[in-house]
Structure 1
């Protein structure tokens, strides 16, 4: 019998079999507070190390992760059910982001001179980015290494300490990441993990000692996290769901487009925030594309090419979307029988009305709707007609038209003639608009997300006859200012 002094625990399960793969402590509010307090002390030490020493230690952490790549991938496989190969790919991408963040933090965040303008020629202006302190990271289960590392690596490189609350479905992955980090930074608890359920994440978000929250999850949960953060005006970067569209132009490489659509929709069992859920195909190539897509999909099967649905409750969402789409459209691959818990085989449905949940709501399963459009203009309008705005894809043989479509798509990121490729490029920012969240991880913007800009203006010499910010200012000095501003800015451009 559990006594009042013993911590509560929960089990991590293999979603394919239901077997227990680990047991973890549910960190309560006191445990979270202790971690944040320890992180605050560690953050001051970590920040004082400077860019060069942090870079050295983070690159060492990268090497430790790489040497333990198979162990990390196996842990991901056990807790998510995804194939080991996909888990390896996820970890490799996380390693490349860690490397980029460590190597580029100084150039992005370090002190630099900025031009003060002609009126401020007597000033020296400096801009730098300082750490926020303790960053609380609340991670997802679908990519339990790659996604949170997009916040963890960049926050650490910016000079912060991190308290990471992994998903309750993948706690072992989070624990392992922190244990491996301690091999490179054993002196202080710069990177800690608190395992638990929703209450643990809520305690982290509401703690006044947290400088910023980096959250990944559903839009609905993001709103609750934001409400908790609002108690202390804690800023938040939120990476939420998506309903990403893929546009197929009339001169697209159809085999490549079909291959990308299938991978984008079905890899990781469709449990990808930037996965492909909708396809809009220009009329003149629609039939050929659909043949290509259905032929390829016929060889794909859950349990062989991808794993189970990790979160059991998502099966109900997938089933509801598929049932409605099949009833109102036409299933060309799979159907209602494709949902066979814990697996879902590929489902491709055409002629689905735009108000269908399968078109408007995030399905998060290996399903895809394919619709015929008159031209790319119609495809663009329909692709943008959703509350979400995370990623998108364009396949076209016309570079100029593809770039124009990519810019006009209401999304934070767009891939052209590839799928989800932007996530693998460490120098590109990652994030969405609208219901998909705000803020950015990855790239220079991701580093700045976990720092605060510090502006410093130093007067090098007094400007003769220009005592503008003084009660001893004379009318003549004010007149000189007016003449100078008029000379610099008063001429109309033709």
Structure 2
């Protein structure tokens, strides 16, 4: 494995390691009412930096009340006026793209080569949502009752709690934030405690663009902060990305209030390689599904299904590709895998190496080392990209979401067997297949029980294409032309007959 040379100079000279960051409530920068803070951790250096507020229940209440107070005026704001604000915001995002990218690298170790693409995508998504909001229209209906007229319009829901994860905080927040705001809702954002600062900066740019106070707020903290937000009676909808376990807890918490939710949860994507595929492209796609985001992605292709007739050819290609993967400082442009995002995540992923050692039928194909066991890596929260053969259906590596660069290899003989194995999971977020046969591509993709299917590609996204899961992978969809159905509701109006 090739090791990127770490930087010997201070990696982030623009950020003061003792800097105090602020929440944003009602257009103001505020600390927690009780003064509590915590520190971020740079996973490459495994070193603490900055001080971030820990929002208590009173801080969450203040943020929700601010959003509630701002909602009536924002809901009445012309979508054309909102569009102008979004245009300014998008321009500021572009102007601060390097800052936003570097902040997220600092927070969670995502590679700069991947992060450099994110701010541009944010700006495009903001403009898309604001422009598409101009097309929100109701309809006139001819009802069954004689002499009556009826019509509808789509109205915003109210105050949205947008809870973003640590693995891709800016990229996944955009799917909630822009659609909610563009359609007239106000928002309280709660970023992960691992990655708060890049989100704070994004919302500071919104205020700089001219968004009114209270329209978008940020509270920071860990699980208790998120629970206070979800359980607050002033919240009308929760939009969450994270683990299935946390998604279930949120659903239980909001069930008595019967409020709406969009839950984008876990995944265990099957990446199927058929014998007629372009094997070079397929191997590269499989590698992407394993290592992108250091494997910390709900859309990872963590189950690799290979047709038996090309097993040796595909595995040889994968072993060769993985031997060339560059692991190291995420600020280096050539680095393909940075560190895992946090100490708890490092402990979780490395624990699966021990689990694999204890499974009778599971065997290591390549990788399996962590931390200082990886040649050339002297620190940081690193694991080596790894592949395991998992013929046993009960294997935990095969069934559980590891959320690291660890792939489970499964061999199949027939097309029907591939489909059956792909669907043999509680998850249903993404899946994919590699084949030159167009009929097979159509036939198999329709049978894969996931919200997204990629054919001869992996990890393709666009703001006008929906993303969401089936089974325990979630409820509702983000992005796409129907996004505003998630953040508005139809309202019906009746006019009776004129009896004059």
Contact 1:247–1:376, Cα closer than 8 Å, also in 2: no
* Structure 2: stretches of 5+ with no match in the other structure: 1-31, 329-334, 375-379
Say which of 292, 298, 310 aligns to 2:317: 292
* Structure 1: stretches of 5+ with no match in the other structure: 463-494
Give the secondary-structure state (helix, strand or coil) at the position aligned to 2:299.
coil
Does residue 305 (structure 1) correspond to residue 332 (structure 2)? The answer is: no
Q: How well do the aligned residues superpose, as a CA RMSD in angstroms?
A: 2.1
- Per the TM alignment, residue 301 of structure 1 is displaced from its structure 2 partner at its CA by 3.9
- Per the TM alignment, residue 400 of structure 1 is displaced from its structure 2 partner at its CA by 2.4
Does residue 135 (structure 1) correspond to residue 152 (structure 2)? The answer is: no
Which residue does the alignment assign to 1:317? Answer: 348
Contact 1:8–1:25, Cα closer than 8 Å, also in 2: yes
Deviations 1:104-157 (A, max 9, x none): 1132x322335x47x568654433211111100111000010101100011011
Which residue does the alignment assign to 1:11? Answer: 39
CA–CA distance in structure 2, aligned partners of residues 5 and 160 of structure 1: 26
- Give the 3 Å change call, closer, same or farther, for CA 251–38 of structure 1 in structure 2: same
5 Å-filtered alignment, 1:128-207, equals: 128-207=153-232
Does residue 433 (structure 1) correspond to residue 470 (structure 2)? The answer is: yes
Which residue does the alignment assign to 1:395? Answer: 434
Does residue 279 (structure 1) correspond to residue 304 (structure 2)? The answer is: yes
- Give the 3 Å change call, closer, same or farther, for CA 290–76 of structure 1 in structure 2: same
Give the secondary-structure state (helix, strand or coil) at the position aligned to 1:445.
coil
- Give the 3 Å change call, closer, same or farther, for CA 301–192 of structure 1 in structure 2: same
CA–CA distance in structure 1, aligned partners of residues 33 and 184 of structure 2: 36
CA–CA distance in structure 2, aligned partners of residues 49 and 371 of structure 1: 54
Q: Which has the higher helix share?
A: 1
Deviations 1:76-102 (A, max 9, x none): 010011121211223332322222111
CA–CA distance in structure 2, aligned partners of residues 90 and 154 of structure 1: 17
- Per the TM alignment, residue 461 of structure 1 is displaced from its structure 2 partner at its CA by 7.3
CA–CA distance in structure 1, aligned partners of residues 55 and 79 of structure 2: 32
Contact 2:85–2:211, Cα closer than 8 Å, also in 1: no
Deviations 1:172-215 (A, max 9, x none): 01110110000112432211100111111111101111110111
CA–CA distance in structure 2, aligned partners of residues 98 and 405 of structure 1: 34
Contact 1:21–1:78, Cα closer than 8 Å, also in 2: no
- Give the 3 Å change call, closer, same or farther, for CA 444–458 of structure 1 in structure 2: farther
Contact 1:125–1:457, Cα closer than 8 Å, also in 2: yes
Question: Which has the larger displacement, 268-277 or 446-455?
Answer: 446-455
- Per the TM alignment, residue 369 of structure 1 is displaced from its structure 2 partner at its CA by 1.5
Contact 2:272–2:433, Cα closer than 8 Å, also in 1: yes
Say which of 240, 264, 269 aligns to 1:244: 269
Say which of 324, 330, 354 aligns to 2:363: 330
Say which of 421, 426, 442 aligns to 1:382: 421
Contact 2:33–2:56, Cα closer than 8 Å, also in 1: no
Contact 1:206–1:231, Cα closer than 8 Å, also in 2: no
- Give the 3 Å change call, closer, same or farther, for CA 283–113 of structure 1 in structure 2: farther
Which residue does the alignment assign to 2:8? Answer: none
Say which of 58, 61, 72 aligns to 2:100: 72
Contact 2:362–2:395, Cα closer than 8 Å, also in 1: no
- Per the TM alignment, residue 306 of structure 1 is displaced from its structure 2 partner at its CA by 1.6
Does residue 355 (structure 1) correspond to residue 388 (structure 2)? The answer is: no
CA–CA distance in structure 2, aligned partners of residues 104 and 171 of structure 1: 29
Which residue does the alignment assign to 1:103? Answer: 131
CA–CA distance in structure 2, aligned partners of residues 222 and 5 of structure 1: 28
Say which of 238, 250, 258 aligns to 2:283: 258
Say which of 448, 458, 465 aligns to 2:485: 448
Contact 2:33–2:55, Cα closer than 8 Å, also in 1: no
Which residue does the alignment assign to 2:331? Answer: none
CA–CA distance in structure 2, aligned partners of residues 357 and 351 of structure 1: 9
Quick one: higher RCO (CA 8 Å, sep 6+), 1 or 2? 2
- Per the TM alignment, residue 219 of structure 1 is displaced from its structure 2 partner at its CA by 1.0
Which structure has the greater CA radius of gyration?
A: 1
Give the secondary-structure state (helix, strand or coil) at the position aligned to 1:343.
coil
Contact 1:15–1:308, Cα closer than 8 Å, also in 2: yes
- Per the TM alignment, residue 14 of structure 1 is displaced from its structure 2 partner at its CA by 0.6
CA–CA distance in structure 2, aligned partners of residues 25 and 317 of structure 1: 26
Q: TM-score, normalised by structure 2?
A: 0.86
Which residue does the alignment assign to 1:405? Answer: 444
CA–CA distance in structure 1, aligned partners of residues 223 and 299 of structure 2: 24
Tell me the matched-pair count. 454
Contact 2:369–2:384, Cα closer than 8 Å, also in 1: no
Give the secondary-structure state (helix, strand or coil) at the position aligned to 2:228.
helix
